Amino acid sequence: MLTELGTTPAGPDSHVVQFYETDDELTEAVASFLAEAIRSGGAAIVIAEPWHRARFAHALAARGISVAAARRDGALIERDAASTLARLTSRQGPEPAAFDTEIGALLRLADRRGGPVRIYGELVGLLWQRNQPGPALALESLWNELGRREQFSLFCSYPQPARQQADTVRQVAELHSAVQAGTLPDALQANPPDVAAFYDPDPRSPARARRMVRDTLSDRHLSHLAEDTIIVVSELAANAVRHARSGLAVTLANTPVGVRISVTDSSGQLPALHRAAPNAEAGRGLQLVDRLANRWGVTLRPAGKTVWAELG
């Protein structure tokens, strides 16, 4: 096992984009992403249009979070996307100084909680809908610059693009660490990016992660790797839910020889590889990972850890 201590302040889930077809699929992904920040003592910042803010609040409540208490305690900070965008852009596009002032103020509010900060923003999506791809890309770059100075995870969203937007879609994907798992735009099919998915601390989450991995590998014509990869993600996701009692982010990336699967949770406790007795009914999870993976390891992060495995 390889352990990297404090070497990766941002992980593959640090700047995720979703190209969504329906509000339902957007809501579920964003709610799982935001909920973990609140559960783990941090803050969730939502910069969205009113109907999306209402949908997210309902989905958070369905996950057992008191939205009223979270708002009161500063665990849930909500802002309107259109008015926020107006304050940080001019006719020429996003203004770096205004962006730093506007978003910096929100980060200072969130940092008072002392835990992880997760941000959902649809500022770029608004620019996209207004047929302003250049300013949208410039704004994504400002987010990335800020992410190099501050610690937060960011989730952006765009309505599913038209075919004629292929070049811009590829540029958008390149500015993100991963794309939310699901139906990828046609422009990304030939050279698929890393994909990420967020899950709640729910016993059903490992099965959902297995389904995501199976579907993604099938789409990438890598079904010959599915059996072992599904076993690995199942064990890592189950450990996050059962032992870390945490929500999780699952990321799948292509490698030159196969795939890399990563599971990030909010616990800093390192997994331990135990040699279970032959007749033991539990404790074999990491033994399976160790046997099936070419190599695997753990990266400690400021707000938890990532357990990863490479197969091929």
Q: Quick: pLDDT tens for 180-205.
A: 998 889 899 889 999 999 999 999 99
157 and 10 part of one domain: yes
Range name among 1-5, 18-22, 278-282, 285-289 with the lowest pLDDT average: 278-282
Q: How confident is the model at residue 163 (pLDDT cuts 50, 70, 90)?
A: low
| Residues spanned by the domain of 217 | 205-311
CATH number at residue 29: 3.40.50.300
pLDDT band at 1 (very low <50, low <70, confident <90, very high): low
pLDDT at 15: 95
Band of residue 274 on the pLDDT scale cut at 50, 70, 90: low
Measure the CA–CA gap between 262 and 240, rounded to whole angstroms.
12
Over residues 37-55, the pLDDT tens digits come to 999 999 999 999 999 999 9
Same domain? For 156 and 11 the reply is yes
Overall average pLDDT of the 239-260 stretch? 93
Confidence check: pLDDT of 6 > 50: no
User: Is 156 in the same domain as 223?
Assistant: no
Tell which residue, 241, 300, 296, has the closest CA to residue 270: 300
Provide the mean pLDDT of the chain: 90
pLDDT level of residue 9 (50, 70, 90 thresholds): very low
We report the CATH number of the domain holding residue 270 as 3.30.565.10
105 with 248, same domain? no
- Residue 152 sits in the same domain as residue 266: no
Residue 121: which of 92, 84, 176, 170 has the closest Cα?
84
171: CB partners within 8 A, 6+ apart: 137
Highest mean pLDDT among 52-61, 271-280, 288-297, 302-311: 52-61
Between 246 and 283, the higher pLDDT residue: 246
Question: Do 152 and 55 share a structural domain?
Answer: yes
Report the greatest alpha carbon distance in the chain.
Answer: 70
Calculate mean pLDDT across residues 121-130.
95
pLDDT at 281: 42
pLDDT at 12: 54
| Assessment of whether the complete model's pTM goes beyond 0.75 | yes
What is the rounded average pLDDT of the residues 280-308? Answer: 82
